[in-house]
Structure formats: structure tokens, C-alpha cells
Amino acid sequence: MEKKSLGTVIPQDFTFGLTGDDMLLLDCGRKIGPVNIRYETYGKLDDSKSNAILILHALSGNAHVAGCLDGDKTKIGWWDSMVGPGKAFDTDKYFIVSSNVIGGCSGSTGPRSYNPESENVFKIYNMDFPVITISDMVRAQYRLMKHLGIGKWLSLCGGSMGGMQALEWAVSYPEAVASVIPIATTSCLSPQSIAFNWVGRQAIMGDQNWNNGNYNDKVPESGLSIARMLGHITYLSDKSMDEKFGRELQESESYSFDFSHNFKVESYLKHQGEKFVERFDANSYLYISRAMDYFDLSSKHGGSLAAAFSKVRAPFLVLSFSSDWLFPPYESLKIVEALRNNSIDVTYCDIKSIYGHDAFLLEVEVLEKIISDFLKCRYEEVKGI
């Protein structure tokens, strides 16, 4: 039986930092304000305020996790298959919160937001926006948590960069976390991943329309599209690409002997790049990918990941995927080992999948079973059932 979607959802905004004392202090040393956080909620917060779950998005994600945005059936949430009545994140039981990260381009304050101190006629930050970190994103989310009257999350869950945020939450605010579900993620970005991000940013900044980040009508479409195509390749696996495309040609039965897209995989990537440009901002891509580069949980603890987790007491469910070569299973095992060195209750599962890094969005059936059971146990513990 097919489970129902949430139907229409309406985004909300929370603004803080209107005065100097309330501004957000960043790792780079700068303060920003006002700061807007775009967020969505699903389900109902119970009387004890103990059923709240925060879902954290990946680089290209946003706050729109489930349901139809403003009633538009073409704008379905990016994890709609997992969030809703009777689903893994059961909105009949849990109060689900999701927010767009600072630095983003989907409602939260970022490089294309209003800058009250700008001398530019358009009053937009652009490259005057401060460089941010995953920690900065979490600090802003902490403000949102307090605004919503939530003292402790029943759970935090995120895949990829969302998993990095979940880990940062557990380390920075251990008293505010009852359980953590990091999926297909890492405790620090590898040199290879940093290299991919670097090339993507170079493609954007090398676009003649980028104009040092000061673009308006002529956006750096080509550079952003190339960055997306490069990134998208890392989300897939060789096996999944072979099964989906093989060496099939797109529009003819023979080679065209030119440099237009001949193969189906080329056409697919071209389409992905074009669609991405329609919904994402080039400067935001620069800032968010750089935040991922800087993420390293052990850096503030003498290079020891175990030391980083020393104050954590929340149980973990760590999930990885066998064909994920962007954040391979051994990255998750490092997290598991560090948690076990601190006697943290941790469940680990490496899920067999051909879908590569994107499996956290596609392997719904197996994820639903594992996550549902984990949340049920955490919910019963909190409620004393």
C-alpha cells in the first residue's frame, strides 16, 4: 500500500541578529546580521517537546524535505519518500524540522542576500559574504532550535554534508542531542574530495559572467553547470552508470565525429547541469563547497577523532553504502571506531547498493526499515515506554 505524501507545506522564516549582541559570530572571526533561516516543519511538537527530529540537507539541498511546496505538485520535497505519515520519519509520531543552511540560496542568508553594510547599489553580499564553516551552519540551527522552544532533539539525521552537520551537532551541543543518524558521510573531507570541489569552483570563477561574483542578469551558467556535472559524477558509481547508460548513443546509430554529446551519459550530465542552474546560485556553491573542505572534526582535538567525541553520549546509527566512492564505507568505520573508543552505543550498517553516493536518496526500502526501528527505540527510551 502506497503511503501518503504530506500534501501542501508552507516554508517559514526565522530572523535573528538584528542587534550587535545578537549577531552570529563565525569561525572566521566576523559577525553577520540580520540572519534569516528558511525552514519547514512537519507533524506536531508534543507537549513534552521531546519528539523533535532535525533533518539536515546535502550541498545542493534545501529546507524542502517533504510534501508539495505551496501546493505545487511539481515541487516535491527531496526526501518525500522518507518523511510523512507512516514513513521512516513518521509525522504522526514525530515533529520534523528542516532548514536551509546559511550560505545557501533557498531562503537562508547567503552571498546573494541583502547586505546592510554594502556600498554596492544592489546591497547584495556577493563575495563580501564571509567564508563559513559547517560549525557556523550548526550555530545558526541552534538558534532556530531555541526559537522553536526545543531543548533536545530526539534525533539528528543527514546524508553527505547533512551527515557532517549531524556529527558537528553531536560534538558542539552534546546536551541537545538524544541520538544521531549520519548517512554516507565523513568526519573530514579527503584530499580527493577537496580536489573535486576545487575544480568545480575554478569552473565557476573561470566563467566570464562570474565577474568576481558580481553578476546579475548574466549569471555564470556554463561554469555552474560544469561544476554540477563534475559533482554529479562523484555521486554515482561505475556500476550504476553502466547499467543506466552503458555506451549507448543518444540521438543516432553511429558516431557524429564532432564534439557534441554523442553518448547518453553525456546528454544526461548536460541535462543535470542545466537543471541545476535553474535552482541554485553559483556563489552559494563556492561558499558551501568551501565549508565542506574545511570540515575536520579532529582538528580542534589534536588530530584525534576519539577525543572529538569524548563528550558525546547519544547513541548513533551510522550508515554507509558499498559502492559509495565519494565517502567510502571506511570513512564511516573511522567514525564508528572513534565512537566505540568512547563506549558510545553505535549501530553500523554498510548497505549493499549499486547507486554510489546517491544511494542515501534512492535505497528507500532498506533505509526506512533500519531508521524506523532505530527511532522507535530512541522514542521509547525518551518516553520511558
CATH number at residue 277: 1.10.1740.110
- CA dist 369 and 351 (Å) reads 12
- CA dist 116 and 93 (Å) reads 42
Residues 6+ apart with CB under 8 A from 81: 87, 364
- In the numeric block, the cell 553578476 is attached to 215
Residue 24 is inside which H or E element, if any?
strand 24-25
pLDDT in tens, 257-298: 888 889 999 999 999 999 999 999 999 999 999 999 999 999
In a domain, 202, yes or no: yes
In a domain, 256, yes or no: yes
Closest residue by Cα to residue 231 from 256, 254, 203, 258:
203
pLDDT at residue number 219: 96
In a domain, 175, yes or no: no
In a domain, 268, yes or no: yes
Catalytic residues: 160, 324, 357
pLDDT in tens, 7-46: 899 999 999 999 889 999 999 999 999 999 999 999 999 9
Residues 6+ apart with CB under 8 A from 372: 88, 90
Q: What is the mean pLDDT of each run of 10 residues along the chain (385 residues)?
A: 80 95 96 97 96 98 94 87 96 98 98 86 88 98 98 98 98 98 98 98 98 94 98 96 93 85 94 96 98 96 95 97 98 98 98 97 96 97 85
- Residue 290 belongs to domain spanning: 190-294
In a domain, 252, yes or no: yes
pLDDT at residue number 121: 61
In a domain, 259, yes or no: yes
Cα-only R_g, the chain: 21
Q: Quick check: 3 and 85 in contact, CB under 8 A?
A: yes
pLDDT in tens, 299-329: 989 999 999 999 999 999 999 999 999 999 9
In a domain, 162, yes or no: no
In a domain, 384, yes or no: no
Residues 6+ apart with CB under 8 A from 250: 261, 262, 263, 264, 266, 267
Total structural domains within the chain: 1
Assigned C-alpha cell, 314: 547519544
